[in-house]
Amino acid sequence: MQQSYTKNYLKIYLWQGVSLVLNFLSMFVVIPYLTSDPITYGIYSVCISFSIFLSYADLGFMGAGQKYAAEYFAKGDKVEEVKVIGFTNFILLIFLLLFSIVFFVLSQQPELLVKGIETANQEYVASSLILILAIFTPTTLLQRLLQMIFGIRMEDFIVQRANIIGSVFKILSVLWFFRAGKYDIVGYFLFTQIINFIAALITLLIARKRYNYNFRDLFRSIYFNKAVFEKTKGLAFASLFITISWILYYELDSIAIGKFLGANQVAIYAIGLTVITFFRSILGILFSPFNVRFNHFIGIGDETALKSFYIQIVTILAPVVVFPIISIAILAQPIILTWVGEEYIASVAIIQFLVFCNIFAFFTYPTNFMLVAKEKQKTLYLVNTLMPFVFWSGIAVSIGVWGVKSFAVFKLVTFVLSAIILYRLMISYLKLNLMNSLKKIFVPMLLPIFFLISVLFTIRDFLPKEKSKINLLIVAIAAGFFIVITFIIQYFSSENWRNQVKKILKLKINEN
């Protein structure tokens, strides 16, 4: 196993940067086409949101399996690594097949999912999208398998490269599926699924060649292994509980809104959900290498290094998370108006509430990693019991007054409450008191944040407000420019942050 993974981190972030640009480009190009028909877009959003269940079909065993596979990799035990990966993918395969059957049944009666289907074309769209999900469900197995193999080796960037190439084809395809007089959302979705499958196959071939990986042994290991089950079940069942909690808190919004408020309200909410999903995917890739490193440290029994690594992640990534989120929240109105137009103006408040749900991600992600790595199962149960209870209780009492906005408001309320608990757990583990932790983590960001808020509120009313790609690009460039200036201020105003950045750059030079 490597001693330093700085070069791997930087490669991951380089390709994540490319992916970020493509995601922005996708938002510029794809979403305006999709939203040109709000009702159909609402149906699309509900159907696609239903696909989230594919991500959770492993019942928590994939997360637990990756932890133990990473520990075996750190110890150099490839035989046990393959056994763990094979068993966890067996669990995933069984439930993916069940979900595929459920999707097929729902494709015959899409009105069970979406309220407000009125025309034969709308029914065709809903039915076709769900049927495509059923057919391409096995792609999820390949994707998760590859994430484990590359992830435990800290080489996620290889998977990202393949996905980036696929994303280019997806973006270009909108020019065909949504050209003048044509709105083929079903053809577009089918094409994206085919691209995902091809990208997974190519990445599989890369893994075989790069690691001399014996996939015959791996596929032979895809069966129920009692020994691996006994080892992983405690953490897996905790992960399953977290998964259920996360689905109830995070993933049922569009489905519930579509069922009770209609497709038009789904479209309004889906714009905000697109933004928060964008941030969520970026944060997931940003922090996922550190999750593996936590497990490496546990595998070799070096908890001192784990604590040092933990606080470094929190302090250096705090500005990376906070500055863009503040910018999106302040500029939500010009973003909406130039991106999807005035008919989605109600989405402005939705975006502002939802985007702040990630404001504390710089410590909530690592703290959750720590709880899993240390197998703090009781704490995981406690934190994840709170989230869906607060969320749905809040919606129940407020939906009659606030409508669709109540989903965004109580998503933020729930996140803030869980963040408070996780922050307390973090400083306790790191043996910091409250004032020292605030001074170390938050105080260095105060001056840059003050600058960012002041300047963005000043320029907000002068930015374009008419829907067009050029105007959206102007808003994005303005936001990006001032975010960069804010990072420069952070660099020169925070000695600790500056030293950490220099240390990373020095390690990069030495590794080259």
- SS3 (DSSP) at 467: coil
Residue 481 sits at the vertex; the CA angle it makes with 467 and 506, to the nearest 5 degrees, is 140
Sign of the alpha-carbon torsion through 297, 301, 303, 305: negative
- Tens place of pLDDT per residue across the chain (512 aa): 444 556 666 676 677 667 666 766 665 666 666 666 666 777 677 666 666 666 665 656 777 777 777 777 777 777 778 888 888 888 888 888 888 888 888 888 777 766 666 777 777 888 888 888 888 888 888 888 888 888 777 777 788 788 888 888 887 887 788 777 777 788 888 898 899 899 888 988 888 888 877 777 777 888 787 887 777 777 677 777 777 777 777 767 777 887 777 777 887 888 888 788 778 777 877 787 777 777 777 777 777 888 888 888 899 999 999 999 999 999 999 999 998 888 888 889 999 999 999 999 999 999 988 887 777 777 877 888 888 888 889 988 888 888 888 999 999 999 999 999 999 999 998 888 889 889 989 999 999 999 999 999 999 989 999 988 899 889 999 999 999 999 999 999 988 888 877 776 665 545 44
| CA pair distance 455, 453, nearest whole angstrom | 6
Q: Please classify residue 43 by burial: count the beta carbons closer than 10 Å to its beta carbon, then call 0-12 exposed, 13-18 middle and 19+ buried.
A: buried
- Over its C-alpha atoms, the chain yields an Rg (Å, rounded) of 23
| CA pair distance 193, 196, nearest whole angstrom | 5
Give residues with Cβ within 8 angstroms of 97, minimum separation 6.
Answer: 137
Per-residue b/e over 115-132, b at no fewer than 16 CB within 10 Å? bbbeeeebbebbbbbbbb
What is the reported pLDDT for 1? 47
| CA pair distance 124, 131, nearest whole angstrom | 10
What is the reported pLDDT for 140? 83
What is the reported pLDDT for 47? 66
What is the reported pLDDT for 509? 47
Query: Alpha helix (H) ranges present in 37-137?
Result: 38-50, 61-75, 78-108, 120-135
How many residues appear in the chain?
512
Per-residue b/e over 326-341, b at no fewer than 16 CB within 10 Å? bbbbbbbbbbbbbbbe
| CA pair distance 34, 250, nearest whole angstrom | 23
What is the reported pLDDT for 327? 95
Give residues with Cβ within 8 angstroms of 377, minimum separation 6.
Answer: 234, 235, 238
Contact 40, 183 (CB under 8 A): yes
What is the reported pLDDT for 8? 66
What is the reported pLDDT for 486? 95
What is the reported pLDDT for 450? 96
What is the reported pLDDT for 115? 63
Q: Please classify residue 177 by burial: count the beta carbons closer than 10 Å to its beta carbon, then call 0-12 exposed, 13-18 middle and 19+ buried.
A: buried
Contact 297, 309 (CB under 8 A): yes
Q: Where are the domains of the chain?
A: 51-251, 253-512
CA 183 from centre of chain: 28
Helices and strands, number each (H, E), in the chain: 22, 0
| CA pair distance 412, 174, nearest whole angstrom | 33
What is the reported pLDDT for 412? 92
Sign of the alpha-carbon torsion through 130, 134, 139, 142: positive
What is the reported pLDDT for 2? 47
Contact 225, 87 (CB under 8 A): yes
What is the reported pLDDT for 361? 92
pTM exceeds 0.85, yes or no: no
Per-residue b/e over 197-217, b at no fewer than 16 CB within 10 Å? bebbeebbebbeeeeebeeee
Residue 404's nearest CA partner among 261, 247, 259 is: 261
| CA pair distance 378, 438, nearest whole angstrom | 27
